[in-house]
Structure 1
Amino acid sequence: MSAHPPMLQIPDHPFRAFIFDCDGTLVDSMPLHFIAWTQSLRAHDAPFDFTEEFFYSTAGVREHDMVRRLNAMHGCALDPDGVAETKAEIFIKLVPQVTVVRPVADFARSLHGRAPMAVASGSEEPIVRACLEANELIHLFETIITPRDVAKGKPAPDMFLLAAERLAVPPEDCLVLEDGMAGVEAAKAAGMQWVFIPRTLR
């Protein structure tokens, strides 16, 4: 598994499976997610400014948990289901603008047929599938894990452990590719090695 794009630094280890985050890792969708969040919060009369700094600091956190964090931070009572549903409706309309993170997508393509791969994302499954289908990546992956599949999302290890179970590979033989610190913490908790995907790679 040594062949990989020069911009992507892969640890020298005989990994048997690979687990990819979606947003900000496989596809460059984060700016569009920020737009969708901003518009959804405005539609629900959120009494605070939603900043890019906060948004990127919570990359990988499931949408309902994001709303709960915002409620706790700002002392308000936004409906997690309502805000997340509106955000998803807005984002789906933006999917045609989503492009790949080229080095990561090329790496995934290079592994196809050579090692099993999964996607483990904090976004809901319809959004993940739409982004992957729009960029002709979905056929690369044996399974897709989203928050509805587990009791706890990132930074808990549940999503990555379930991905390893579905791929029938021990956690220590899996490599995680992630752009969010919540995902990195989840990989560590799962006992997996990880590669951080910086925004400069997009």
Structure 2
Amino acid sequence: MTLPTRSYAAFLFDMDGTILTSIASAERTWTKWAIAHGLDVATFLPTIHGVQSVETVRRLGLPGVDPVVEAAAITAAEMEDVEDITPIRGAADFLATLPAWRWTIVTSAPRALAERRLAAAGLAIPAQFIAAEDVANGKPAPDCFLLAAERLGVPASDCLVFEDAPAGIAAADAAGSDVVVITATHGRDHRVDAARHAIVDYDGVELTADGPGRWRLGRE
């Protein structure tokens, strides 16, 4: 498990599986939906993470199913199921150390659901963050990270992205950003490319200034 050695001007965080875990609640909702549509749950569930709900439904190509309508219903159900959502270890303390104008959240979740989950986990909600509604093309397209960098006023190549899912990692790569993979919610069968920077969680991770408007990560 390693951290990058260079400094950055801004920090971009995926939400689910990266700063909080809502896997249990999301999978409960999606399991009910999958059963109702005759899908094999064990095969289907791994495909829901890291991408917009509407894209998850759309790529199934189910006859007579409107992806937009189904995604809205799924989001409404997810908004009601937040009781066991918790922050990734150390996330709250680490986020509190970041300059408010140089970090944000970049999530595939709709804004209302993201705010609901962040509040349930007791995590800070940035003044502005990128949600599903903000981009035409969700992860693995780079649009969301490019937009986040633009709003923070820095090049995407000078941003460090924290991600957990393949679609998000691919999006960050395509945007030209460096990536730290958070493995807290990865199962034993999940393999992270050995060339990637990766940490389990944020426990002991600290931020230090490295010149005007630049910071680097380290360990306590």
**The TM-score by the shorter chain falls in which range?**
0.7 to 0.9
In 1, Cα distance between equivalents of 2:60 and 2:91: 31
Mark the CA change 1:57 to 1:106 in structure 2 (over 3 Å): closer, same or farther: farther
Aligned residue identity for 1:50: V
Instruction: Looking at secondary structure, tell me which structure has more helix per residue.
Output: 1
Number of matched residues?
187
Query: Residues 120 and 159 of structure 1 are in contact (CA less than 8 Å); yes or no, is this contact kept in structure 2?
Result: yes
Offset at residue 70 of structure 1 (A): 2.0
Q: Does 1:30 align with 2:17?
A: no
In structure 2, what residue type is equivalent to 1:190?
A: A
Aligned partner (choices 155, 176, 197) of residue 161 of structure 2: 176
Structure 2 vs 1, CA of residues 119 and 103 (structure 1 numbering), >3 Å: closer, same or farther?
Answer: same
Distance (whole Å) between structure 1 residues aligned to residue 3 and residue 97 of structure 2: 13
**Counterparts of residues 153-168 of structure 1 (less than 5 Å):** 153-168=138-153
Within 5 Å, give how 1:53-132 maps onto structure 2.
54-71=44-61, 76-113=63-100, 116-132=102-118
Helix, strand or coil at the partner of 1:121: coil
Amino acid at match of 1:29: S
Structure 2: which amino acid aligns with 1:63? S
- Give, in angstroms, the shift of residue 57 of structure 1: 4.3
Q: Which runs of 5+ in 1 are unaligned?
A: 1-7
1:86-123 CA-to-partner distances (Å, cap 9, x unmatched) read 2112211211321001133432222245x611111111
Structure 1 residues 144 and 134, CA, compared in 2 at 3 Å: closer, same or farther? same
Q: Which residue of 1 aligns with 2:41?
A: 50
Percent identical pairs in the alignment equals 36
Question: Within 2, Cα distance between the matches of 1:48 and 1:36?
Answer: 14
The worse-fitting range, judged by mean Cα deviation, of 9-18 and 117-126 is 9-18
Shift of 1:31: 1.9
**Alpha-carbon distance, 1:37 to partner:** 1.0
Structure 1 CA distance, aligned partners of 2:110 and 2:97?
Answer: 26
Given the alignment of the two structures, is residue 20 of structure 1 paired with residue 7 of structure 2, yes or no?
A: no
RMSD between aligned residues: 2.0
1:151 deviation in Å? 1.4
| TM-score, normalised by the number of residues in structure 1 | 0.83
